[in-house]
Structure 1
Amino acid sequence: MSDLSGIDCLASFSPESANLQQWLAYLEALHPSEIDLGLDRLRQVAERLQVTTLPCDVITVAGTNGKGSTVAMLDSVLRHAGYRVGCYTSPHFLHYNERICLEGKPVSDDLICQAFCQIEQARAEISLTYFEFGTLAAFLIFAEQKPDFAILEVGLGGRLDAVNLIDPDVAIVTTIAKDHESWLGSDLEQIGREKAGIFRPNIPALLGAQEMPASVRATAQSLGASCIAQIGQDYRWQPESNKQQWQWQQLNAEGEVTLCYQALPKPALPLDNAATVIQAVQLLNKPVAPKAIYQGLANASLTGRMQRIGRFLLDVAHNPHAAQYVAARLQEQPKTGRRVALLGMLDDKDIESVLEIMAPEFDAWYIAQLSGPRATPVQRVLEKLSQLGCDNCQGFTDVSAALAAVLKDTSEDDNVLVFGSFYTVAGVLAEKERLTP
C-alpha cells in the first residue's frame, strides 16, 4: 500500500499520475464509511458515465454462501463454450485486480486506473465508497471490452448493493443464512427479502438452496420473475452409483425428469452450486453445448474454497452454514495423520457457533490474531475452545506466526485446514511458497 493516508492522501493525490496502490489508498480515505448501502449516489455517477446497462448478457449472483463457487463454475462453463466472460467478485486475496477478470485473468493495473480516473472526473461532488468505485470500474471495463457475458457477484445483501444497479438476464440467489447481521439483521425472512432484490420482471430467478425463507420466492413473484426455478423442486442432482460422478436432472411440475446430464465430473466446489450453474445455462440467451458443461465443471476451481496446497486445505468459511459444509467435507475424507486448524476470525461473525461445529474435527488449534478493529481477540477464541473441551490450542500474534508454528509442528501425514476469514486465507496465501516442500 502507499504510505499516504487520511487527510495527507486526499490533499496530495494526483489522479492522472497515481498508480493502483495510490488509488486504493485514496479510495480508502475518501468516504467516511466502508459500507453505505443505497443506489442513488451510484446511479447518478453511472448515468454520467453511461454505464447503467452493459453491452452483454448479465448474470447476477447473490446469497450468503456459494456466490464465489457459482461464479467460478459459470465462468468456466461459459469459457469452455467459447464465450468471452467478464467476472466481478469481492473481496480479493492478494491483488485488487482479482476482483475484475476477463477471460479468466485479472485485468491490468492500467485498465483499472483509467476507469478510476473516469469515475473521479464524473462523480464531482458525489461521494462514493471504495466498493462503489470498484463496481463502477468493473462496469466501465466491461462496457469497453464487451465480453459476451458479465457475471456480477453481489457484495452485501442484494437490493441496495452497488451491483444491483445493472439489470440481469438471469438472477441467482445461492443460499440464505445469518451473516453481516449488523447490516442485514438476524431475521432470515428479511435477509432473504434483501437478497431477492436482485430479481427483475420477466427475468428468470434461480433459488440455489432447498431451504429458503419464504420471502425469497415471494419477492421473485412480486417482482414478476419470468420463471422461478429452485433446486430440489425444478432441478436436482443425484450421485451416480460409483459416487465419483453425479447427474443433473430438470423436472416438470409433476416431478418428471425432462432433461438429464449423466456421469458428470465431481467438481471441487459444492454440488448444489454446480447444479444451479447447469440450470442457469439452460435459461441463457446463448447456446451452451453439453461438452462445455462437462469440461467447465471438471476444470473449475476457486481460490480459498476447499483449495488444496500440499497438506494444507484453505477455505474462507466464516459462518455456521459454511462451517457445516466444510465439516461435512472433512468427514468424507479418510483421516491419516493429525487434523490441525489454523483459524483467524472477525468479531462480527458468529464465532461461537462456528467453533461448536468445527471443534470435533481437529486434534490441535492454532489461533491467529487478525489486524484491524473488527478482529476477534485470540483469547476469546481460546476460551471458547477450552469450554468445548479442546485442550491443544495456541494463540499467535498474526497469521504468519501461526503458520510458522504449524509448519514446525506438523508432518506431511497431517492435514491442516486454514479457515475463518478471507484475511486468514490471504495471509497464508501470501506465504504460499512455504506450504509445500
Structure 2
Amino acid sequence: MSADFEGKGEWLKDDWLKYLESIHPAEIEMGLGRVTKVAQALDLFKPAPTIIVVGGTNGKGTTTALLGQLLAAKGLTSAGYNSPHIHHYNERINRRSLNADGSISATQLISDEELCCAFAAIEIGRGDVPLTYFEFGTLAALWQIKQWQVDVALLEVGLGGRLDAVNIVDTDLAIVTSVGLDHQDWLGDTLDLIGMEKAGIGRKSKPLICGQLDVSQGFIDAANAIGANAYYQGCDFSIEQAEQGWLLTLPCALKSSIHLPNGHIPYFNIASAITGLYVLGLLPDEKGIQQAVADTRVPGRLTSYACQYKNTSLTFILDVAHNAQAAAFLASQLKGCNMAVLAMLGDKEPGAVIAALPQIEQWQLASLSGYRGQSSEKLKSQVLTSNGGKFFSCHDSVEHAMIASLQAIQTQGIEDAEVLVIGSFLTVSAAELALNHIDGLEWVVI
C-alpha cells in the first residue's frame, strides 16, 4: 500500500466523493488511455460473463431497468451501472442477486461499505494515473460488479459512446436507444457526427441494436466500419400500437410477434431491450416478458404524484427530460397538461425544450444552484424571443416554482390539473425534496 493511501482506508462515502471531485482535472482530455491502463492492472474488462452496454441520447436508464427485469424473469442475476443519480451516489451501482429459494431479488443498491471498498481498490490500482470523476466511478463500478459475480453486467454509457469510459469493456451486446442533439460541444453539432460517436460502442461480429427510427447515415457508416451485426428498429424489428397494448415483431423470429401490455417506459425502448436479449438468446418466455414490461418503473421518468393541496386535487409529473427529443416524447404522452416547471443546467437549450411542448401554456422557470446551474432569468432571456404568447414566471428555486404553480391552479380554479416538472436530474431531485417541504401538500406516487 502506497504512502499516499494511508488514512483513506478509514474514509466514509462522503470523504471519497469529495476526494473524487477534488482530483477531477480542470481540463478533460477525451480518450480511453488512462482508464484502460487502470482497468488492465485490475483485470476489469470482463466483470461478468455477459456484458451489455447501453448508449443513446435518451432512454438509457429505462432500457437498462427493463433489461434487469427481463433477465430476472429468465432466472439470471445482473448488476447495473447508471448515471447520474437523483439523490444518492449509491443509485448508480445496483444488483439483482439470487435469493435462497432460487428466485431473483428486487434491485439492491450498493452499500456505503461496498462503495468505499470499491473506491479504495481503484485508488490503489490507479497508481499515479489521473482519472476524472466519471472515470474513477466507472472503474469502481466495474470492480464491484466483478466482486458480485453476477451473470450479466448492464452498463450505461455516460456521454457519447466511442470515447466514454464504459466503452473499455469486452461487450457482448450494444444497444443505442436513440440519437438526438445533446452535448454538441463534445459530440458534434449534427446527427451524423453524434451517431458516429454512439455507434462506437458496437463490436465486430457482435449484435448492435439501434432503437432510433430513421437513424443518421453517420451511425450506419460507423456500425458498418466496426463490422457490428446491426439491427435497426423499423427495419429488422418493429413495434406498433395494438388493441390493449403493443405488438413487437422480432428479427428472424420463428414466432413473428409478441403482444405486450402498456408499460411505464417508452415503447421504443421496450422494443430495443427485448430484441437485444432475443438475439443473445437470453429472452424469457412471453409471460415473463409481459410481466417485466408491466413491472418496470424508473424514478424520474414520468413519475406521477397525486397531490392534495388546500382542497385542490392535482398531479405533479416529474421527468429528467433535458433536450428536445425527450421533450417531444413527453408531448406525445401528456395531452392534457398545460403547466410546467422548468429548471436546467447551463449547457442546455431551454428554447428547444419549450418548442417541443406546444401544449404547455404556463411555464414556471426555476434557478438551479451550483456552478453548472442556469438561473431562471437566463432561461427566460433565451426563450422570450419565441414564446408564442406563453406565460413565463421566474423563481429562485424549484420548490418556489412548484408553489407558484399550486397558487396559479387555485387562483384559476383548475380542477385535476397536471403540472410537468422537467429539465435535469437535479430538477427532479429538488422537486422530490420539495414535495416533502411544501406546507399543506399531501401526495402519493401513482
TM-score normalised to the size of structure 2?
A: 0.88
CA RMSD for the aligned pairs? 2.0
- Change over 3 Å in CA distance of 1:86–1:178 after alignment to 2: same
Of 23-32 and 386-395, deviating more is: 386-395
1:238 aligns with 2:218: no
Match of 2:134 among 131, 136, 143: 131
Verify the 8 A CA contact 2:48 2:153 in the aligned structure 1: no
Of 188-197 and 368-377, deviating more is: 368-377
1:368 aligns with 2:374: no
- Alignment match, 1:340: 339
CA distance in 2, matches of 1:294, 1:436: 33
CA distance in 1, matches of 2:294, 2:30: 37
SS at match of 2:155: strand
Verify the 8 A CA contact 1:36 1:129 in the aligned structure 2: no
Shift of the alpha carbon at 1:29? Answer: 0.6
1:99 aligns with 2:92: yes
CA distance in 1, matches of 2:388, 2:364: 15
1:395 aligns with 2:399: no
SS at match of 1:417: strand
CA distance in 1, matches of 2:390, 2:267: 35
Verify the 8 A CA contact 1:94 1:430 in the aligned structure 2: no
CA distance in 1, matches of 2:256, 2:23: 51
Verify the 8 A CA contact 1:251 1:258 in the aligned structure 2: no
**One-letter identity of the residue aligned with 1:74:** L
SS at match of 1:192: helix
- Alignment match, 2:43: 50
- Alignment match, 1:318: 322
CA distance in 2, matches of 1:161, 1:386: 36
Verify the 8 A CA contact 2:53 2:156 in the aligned structure 1: yes
- Alignment match, 1:295: 291
- Alignment match, 2:312: none
Runs of 5+ consecutive residues of structure 2 not aligned to the other structure: 97-106, 307-314
**One-letter identity of the residue aligned with 1:131:** F
CA distance in 2, matches of 1:262, 1:205: 21
CA distances 1:137-166 after superposition (whole Å, capped 9, x unpaired): 111111111111111000011111000010
- Alignment match, 2:350: 351
SS at match of 1:116: helix
- Alignment match, 1:436: 442
- Alignment match, 2:248: 248
Identity %: 37
Shift of the alpha carbon at 1:286? Answer: 3.6
- Alignment match, 1:18: 11
SS at match of 1:269: coil
CA distance in 2, matches of 1:14, 1:44: 25
Shift of the alpha carbon at 1:391? Answer: 4.9
Shift of the alpha carbon at 1:24? Answer: 0.4
CA distance in 1, matches of 2:112, 2:197: 33
- Alignment match, 1:304: 300
SS at match of 2:54: strand
Shift of the alpha carbon at 1:417? Answer: 0.3
CA distances 1:369-408 after superposition (whole Å, capped 9, x unpaired): 0112332231233245544134532211122222233344
CA distance in 1, matches of 2:396, 2:379: 13
Match of 2:198 among 195, 198, 218: 195
TM-score normalised to the size of structure 1?
A: 0.90
Match of 1:214 among 212, 217, 230: 217
